[in-house]
Amino acid sequence: MIVSATTVKKAASLRDEIRHHNHRYHALDDPEIPDAEYDRLMLELQRLEDEFPDLVSSDSPTQRVGDAAVSGFGSAQHELPMLSLGNAFSIDELQEFHRRVTDRLGLDERGDLIYAAEPKLDGVAVSLLYVDGVLVRGATRGDGMTGEDITHNVRTIQAIPLKLIGDDYPSRLEVRGEVFMPRAGFEAYNEAARAAGEKTLVNPRNAAAGSLRQLDPRLTAGRPLDMYAYSVGVTDGGELPARHSEIIDLLQGWGIKVCPERRVVMGIEGCLEYYENIGERRESLSYEIDGVVYKIDSLELQRELGFVSRAPRWAIAHKFPAQEEATKVESVEFQVGRTGVVTPVARLKPVFVGGVTVSNAVLHNIDELHRKDVRVGDTVIVRRAGDVIPEVASVILDRRPEGTQHIQLPVECPVCGSYIERVKGEAAARCTGGQFCSAQRAEALKHFVSRRALDIEGLGSKLIEQLVASGRLKTPADIFQLEKDELSSLDRMGEKSADNLIDSIKASKSTTFARLLYALGIREVGETTAASVAAYYGRLANLELATEEDLQLVPDVGPVVAARIRAFFAEEDNLSVIERLKEYGVHWLEMDPVLISTDGPLAGMTFVITGTLPTLTRDDAKGMIQDAGGKVLGSISRKTDYLLAGEKAGSKLLKAQNIDVVILDEHALISLISG
């Protein structure tokens, strides 16, 4: 079929426009158009290429995912070796590196030596070769000299341009970077996998590595991978700047994504300041890192310093304390929580990981324990990230001793002896003992006094366990009958501590309706839901009379939560505790309920909000939706009608895409409301 010059020009224009928007979205994190408009551009190009197949080129944005799997991985020879880095695990080791550099360069150790600093991503190193601006090969690092050809897979990663932007790039350019799986994408993928009964990914690094080694590129395309470039290798047919930091800036201008946390710092003091700053923000980053990398910024000085063995003398990785370590499982016990959930916990041979000594790790539930097949005597990988409770990541099967046995869920509660049941469709197993179970009583009381509930300072876990064991505390109301003399006689409690605790108990009597609801520990009712219910009903008496159907009109309340709330207030023992709390002086401000429209253009529709909107706050958007008769929920499900998504939307956006929930931007929401 003959293709007119106008059609050829139109296709080229669409490709350039799409590449521009890919660059704005992926490399600069600064999109200019909403997703719906981008999708229309892609659809228009796809239609043109379907009608005129001769228009299709390998660098077209429509050609990211190939149709067929490869039979195996070919080898890829690196023209310049992909070197590894030396490591510094302490300030002393970093200072020794700096001293060696300054000595070799003949500089004063306190001299003005400029470093380029960037996070050390915990991903997979790759090489991307561009010829005349078109991606022609992707390869893994391998042994540094030879890697695997993974071109079919790197083409599926949206952050990697198939064609560079502009025309001032070298005719032959090798870009080196790190492919990784962002935290939000990792969590969303695993959540969807669990819901589908499929195998979950172990950790983001392994997920990235496994994704790049898929023979079928369609499988890789289904993984939420990203990439940041950190250097260049071979370059022919063009000149590059004299500083590493300027080269990275240039890569970004050509459409290559680079780390936004990169910095240029002065001397060893600048390196340490950067290390501390990134360390403090480590858990808030959208990707996992295991340290930072410092490189001499001047390419001339890099050449002068040269290499030693398989590592450059001009760069070093300053590692954070390990967040994964191997240790042995000494036993597995089952703990009982405030709602009766029975959770397996691994008792470990103590190991230092993530900056603390870990001797216990959570195993979540019996299904997760069986999936990982953790047994007493196993050597396991323990992971800890920030303040997150340590977990058993995986078992090192090669080190499993003979004679180990599968661990089974106990039939009876290890605390009270009541029957343990599993409701069909739920992962959790629960003790049926209720308040007869001292473990449930203790955990419920710990929740009641916690900071976001009644906030009774000084009534800690150990003290509550003592008072529960002695029979002194059975319900939250009993807390308000405690006396100074009995408290001061307890272990580790003196006169002053008893006085302070009594004062704290008295102060907690004045609270809010939302805090009280949260403190009561109703299953599935967290802080946000408690606040929504309190605002909607205004008064406890209104809530006590609410039906399940009424409750589902409250934002954040679905059928399951409504049933939990209704069951709680149908229980005479719970109502008795609330009456006793009021009798002992616990009070809260009550007000008229918030009226939420049940008619309007959005009547019967459910929404979830994520990300940062251009002009509206999330509360503003929520109010607009509710005023128009819609309902705003906190989590995505197949019953969600719309996801309102702004910039930096995370796992909710990915989940919505996976289950085909309609995604709106702010403009589309306003249009929907206005009809």
Burial status of residue 277 (CB atoms within 10 A of its CB: 0-12, 13-18, 19 or more)? middle
Q: How many CB atoms neighbour CB 182 within 10 A? A: 20
Cα torsion 447, 449, 450, 455: sign: positive
Residue 309: C-alpha distances to residues 86, 295, 298 (Å):
10, 17, 21
How far apart, in whole angstroms, are the C-alpha atoms of residue 1 and residue 48? 13
462 is catalytic: no
* Nearest 10 degrees: Cα torsion 633, 638, 640, 643: 100
First to last CA, the chain: 44
Q: Which two tokens stand for residue 427?
A: 């992962």
Alpha helices in 23-90 (DSSP H): 35-51
Q: What are the beta bridge partners of residue 78?
A: none
Specify the DSSP class assigned to residue 84.
-
Q: What are the beta bridge partners of residue 332?
A: 346
How far apart, in whole angstroms, are the C-alpha atoms of residue 553 and residue 629? 10
Non-local (6+) Cβ contacts of 436 within 8 A are: 416, 418
Select which of 120, 446, 622, 631 is catalytic.
120
* Nearest 10 degrees: Cα torsion 549, 554, 559, 562: -80
Q: For tokens 């019953």, what's the residue? A: 639
Closest listed residue to residue 661, CA positions, set 645, 675, 648: 645
How far apart, in whole angstroms, are the C-alpha atoms of residue 421 and residue 443? 19
Would you call 321 helix, strand, or coil by DSSP?
A: coil
How far apart, in whole angstroms, are the C-alpha atoms of residue 290 and residue 288? 7
Question: 558 — phi, psi (to 5°)?
Answer: -110, -170
Would you call 544 helix, strand, or coil by DSSP?
A: helix
**Catalytic residue numbers, as ranges:** 120
